[in-house]
Amino acid sequence: MKAVELIARKKVNVLVVRTVGEGPFHMLRDNFIKILRTPEGADTAGDILDRVQDLEEITTPAE
């Protein structure tokens, strides 16, 4: 959970991840941080930025 605290302190408003667990999911949402799913085949930040318009929002935590 310390990672989420750091992310919130740095005033991040969007996070791109493959999955997110229940605890961090709720902490991120409580801090108004939008959570987006890393697209399949995206291995670098450049890959993600090239497809930023197509990123899907994560609305439920991973099971």
Q: Could you give the number of structural domains in the chain?
A: 1
Question: Would the CA dihedral through 16, 21, 22, 23 be positive or negative?
Answer: negative
Residue 53 lies in a domain: yes
Mean pLDDT, to the nearest integer, of 36-62?
Answer: 94
Q: What is the pTM of this model?
A: 0.88
Q: To the nearest whole percent, how much of the chain has pLDDT over 90?
A: 95
In sequence order, which residues have a C-beta less than 8 Å from that of residue 55 and are 6 or more positions away?
A: 16, 36, 37, 38, 39, 48
Which carries the bigger pLDDT value, residue 51 or residue 1? 51
On whether residue 63 sits in a domain, the answer given is no
Whether 63 has a pLDDT exceeding 90, the answer reads no
Q: Which domain holds residue 53?
A: 2-57
Average pLDDT for the chain: 95
In a domain, 62, yes or no: no
Mean pLDDT in residue range 9-16: 96
